[in-house]
Structure 1
Amino acid sequence: MIRFSNRSDLGQLNAISLEEQKTKNLTQLNDSNPTHFGLGIEKFGTYVPDPRGSETTREALANFLKSRKDPISPSNFSPASSERLYLLSSTSQGYSWLIKLLCDPGEKVAYPSPGYPLIPSIASMEGVEAVPYFLRFDGSWYIDLPYLEKVLEDKSVKALVLIHPNNPTGSYVEKEEFEEVERMCREKEIAIICDEVFYEYSFSRTPGRISGFSSVLTFALDGFSKLLASPQIKTAWIEVSGPEEEVKEALTRLDFIADNFLPNSWFQNQSTPSLLELAPEKVKEVRERCMENLELLKEAFSKPSLASSLIVPDGGWSALVRFPATVDEDELVKALIRQFSLSAQPGYFFDVPFNCVAVSLLPPTYETKSRIEVLIDTIEALSRE
């Protein structure tokens, strides 16, 4: 049984709350909701706070999620339900809530490295330590499972983060890897937090979604920032799945956490159902752009004499360009800035264990072509110094 944090413990209801539960159509003397008294803006209707977000919106979202039928483990899968969804303003908020739910200050959450540095930053603000487990590279990326098992032997580790696919490596959690991860988490009673924001952007095949996994308490994160390529919309969600008793307890505690924030807005409720209808075409458009740029990159780095090489991702919005250790990452980026007003994120930003820079697959191909030519030429020049 998963142990939840003390800070998410509601304790027992007080005498007034217990008495209120016995009474229907209760009137509050201290009701300070202006929409109950005709004082709000009429077109926005009556405000009915719900820690999980509007039920109507969650039902639309659940129907959308149920249409995506590719679970990583079909025999251990629960279809999306509106009762197990939380509407958020961002996946970052989701990480914050889940760390509050699962970890007391001083405890730990395990996260993949290389990776985007968001999780250590959020964990630090929650008073929790983020400990890395490693993705290794031998021509393709894979989880160092023996090392991960050692990390999870630490009883203060309360949650394991999976990025599916990872940013910036573009690697998915393979089915065989997940079977081992699931075993470790089940044996050690550790919850899974799975970030699937880039899942739709695969370039070949995918091993299946982890969202909805039912054998271990699992929290899946997703949202419109990637699904609609529109981070300004500020709509995301948590999908909860797992053993029934653990899910029930998690929902009760998450309700308590969410009730302190109530981020769901009228604008989200009005727009989300129609925005969900746009997702398939938008994903198709963005994926095609990424694949066009990836093919362009493959061609650009096909010359065997180049000092640099392309690490081909399985999915996502970026690729890594690798170059020799003799070319300093900082010197390369500074040269790009000085000579071409072009900047880049070096590999050490993500704790990549070799020299590289991350390249976006989103620009128009003509822009990508010119930028990559500049990058290759600059690496070649520095490698000859």
Structure 2
Amino acid sequence: MSIPPPPGPQQPQEPQGPYGQYPAPQDQGLYGAQGHYGAQGHYGAQGHYGAQGHYSVQGPYGVPGPYGQQSPHGAWGPYPPPGLPPVNGAAIAALVLGILCFLPAVGLVLGLIALRQIKRKGERGKGMAIAGAVLSTVGLALLTLTFSTGGASDFWEGFKEGARESAIVSPDKGECFDAPTGSLEGETYDVEVVPCSGKHDGEVFATVTLPGGTFPGDDHVAKVADDECYALEPDYAMDSWAVPDDVDVYYLTPTRESWALGDREITCLFGNTDEKGSLTGSLRNDETTLDADQLAYLETVVAIDAVMGEEPEAFPDEDLPVNQAWAQDMHDVLGEQGAALEAHTWPADAERPMAALVKELASAREDWAKAADAGDADTFYAHYDQGYGFYDGQATVTAREALGLDTSPPAGASDEAAPDQEV
């Protein structure tokens, strides 16, 4: 299923200021919420894949797989890619028996056997197996009702529950997985959970449960996934510097077919922006992996990120007041988080670096105050440039080194001048 890319609210703005052309905050290294590793929409549209039509995944490129893929009804598009696993024979037989309503008990058994074999061997045909088993079950239920008015309903409900569990496969938060084709583009019917320590295609960092009711539509599901996944990302990967530049956010989403089977879960995950690339090792850095001092520092980073992520879309020369209000917010959050860093008791070898960083934040805070009071766009740009100077400065790098955190700023940092300014 192809899903047109939604204009996600977390997509980076056109760069502005000293690090591009007035950079959007999500492109700002240490305190940039998402841009440094390709915030959704950073590379264009979105890719997607789905478990046999049951899931779709959205990512940075938005290029659906070039081949027709299997739907829950067993239909295939033209030009299947080479190397795909074979279609399970029992699934084909189950579908034929189900359609013909011939020997429904045999069709049901074959369908269930096919589901187990497909899960174990990684074969295709899950949609055919489910369809064949469902059709055979209907035939068997009708035969049962000929002899009895009881029991058939319970049997049918039990089967539907089993079908849901077999058809809806989604890894949990913190788990890593491989896709059958090795790519997060196109569609797939299943994923294999693998250890995060080795190479893998994706790592799940959050799950979101949608409310019940009728299927809200692909566009709505994609928008919810876009909003929720980027909002939850810092809870799992607090240190944006530790996320490689070639990693982006993707998400598995329910489709109309899987929704009918009870699927309500959006799975947020990290993947490589190179279709042929992979990940190695876990990207998780939160309270489960950080020590108390690292956590205290990164909590201030996340708080500043959140305000930077609210940078207005309009340039200062288009809407100066809204940019002034945001600059005041930056002034306030730097004061709050600088005080939090100053109040924390740091290890002996980190005391001086952290004191220097607090001083740097105080200096940046003054520039944001001047930007908030700027009488024109040029003055705003000048103090905006200075206000962003702390984010990957030497004080920040030295403090990170003292805490044992990553010291390589994300891609996107530059010393370019703000727009319309002479150099």
Q: Which has the higher contact order (CA 8 A, sep 6+)?
A: 2
The higher radius of gyration belongs to 2
Q: Give the number of the structure whose residues are more often strand, by fraction.
A: 1
